[in-house]
Amino acid sequence: MTGNNEARLACFDRWAQQQSLPAAAVPPAPAVLADTPPPTPVDASVPATRVVTAGTADGCRDRQYSSLSRFWELEAGTDCGTFGFRGYRPLNVSFGVAARDPETPTSPAIGRSALVDRPYQAQDMRIGLSLRTKLAEGLLTGDDPAKKDSLWFGYTQQSTRQIFNEDLSRPFRTTDHEPEFIYVYPTDYKLPGGWRLRYGGLGLNHQSNGQDLPLSRSWNRVYLMGGADLDDRYVITARIWKRIKESTAKLGDPAGDDNPDIEDYIGRAEVKGVWNFDRNNQFGVTVRNNLRTSGNGSIRLEWLKAIGDPARSNLRFHTQLFYGYGDTLIDYNKKRTVFMVGISLVDF
């Protein structure tokens, strides 16, 4: 019995000693976690077109940016790099019908009026090719993480073919060539009504039809441009230009100017409005004016409907109505009404 009592006392003593041991210390949080600052609150002044989510498979075509930012690569998140080919104006194939047959080309310049009136038809096929590439970026913005300026080269070619005119062996009636250099500077100015001015820029443009006398037509111009949008539903772009006289005309030779009055017909300024009705339908209107009392110019109405998923396909069914001067370069001083239907490949 005594032995059992002593064993119980020894066990109790060991238990009491364990209860008096110091408690295990909890190690402090690692310095990295302890020094981590609280999350930065969202700045409401930053435009909605800035990156707000992780990158997507769309890369520089990410649709969380505005259409103008994606088109001109105005921000770091929409930068596709230099010397890659992108669409400019829509690549298109369409069929057009005019209110009347084309008139005989004329110009007030000496030796620039057609000598023979060819029996062209009012119906034709239109073929449009337009590409551009970015030559340089960060010229003035440098390494700014929020915006990127850029220098582009663009080339546009528009041809009309008398595809139904078997008597003339279906010739190409016109082909207009239009190379240009474009500098684009990103902006983000708030305008009334929620609009934002997204960019400004300037360009140097040459347009000619590549024909010899008496059908030669060409001109050079320098222009200022800008673009604004509203929630990516509405987009307005504008250009105003000044014609550069032909070098021989500057020397006093009026015969060296193919079309000295071209601005009085085609115009001196252009405004284009686009309404993205939904993801499948886009409506546009382009107005040109000569900024003179005569009010000459043109208006172009457009409807583009997506073919397939617009998030994956750039093909569009394209309907267009043109009224005014400058349908083609050879017709710069002839007022025409032309309705066109076709397929377009928009920016890619």
Q: Which whole-number Å values give the CA distances from 24 to 14, 21, 27, in the listed order?
A: 19, 9, 9
Q: Which whole-number Å values give the CA distances from 277 to 233, 274, 283, in the listed order?
A: 7, 9, 7
CB contact set of 11 (below 8 Å; sequence gap of 6+)? none
Pairing of strands 85-87, 91-98: unpaired
Give phi and psi for 194, each to the nearest 5: 90, 0
Q: For the chain, what is the total number of helices (H) and then of strands (E)?
A: 5, 13
Q: Which whole-number Å values give the CA distances from 175 to 156, 163, 181, 218, in the listed order?
A: 10, 14, 20, 12
From 20, 206, 318, 344, the catalytic residue? 206
Q: Which two tokens stand for residue 340?
A: 């066109």
CB contact set of 122 (below 8 Å; sequence gap of 6+)? 97, 98, 99, 100, 101, 102
From 66, 69, 208, 218, the catalytic residue? 208
The 10 Å Cβ neighbour count of residue 198 is 26
208: annotated active-site residue: yes
Rounded to a whole number of angstroms, the distance between the first and last alpha carbons of the chain is 98
180 and 204 Cβ atoms separated by less than 8 Å? yes
206: annotated active-site residue: yes
Residue 174 pairs in a beta bridge with 160
Question: Which residues participate in catalysis according to the annotation?
Answer: 206, 208
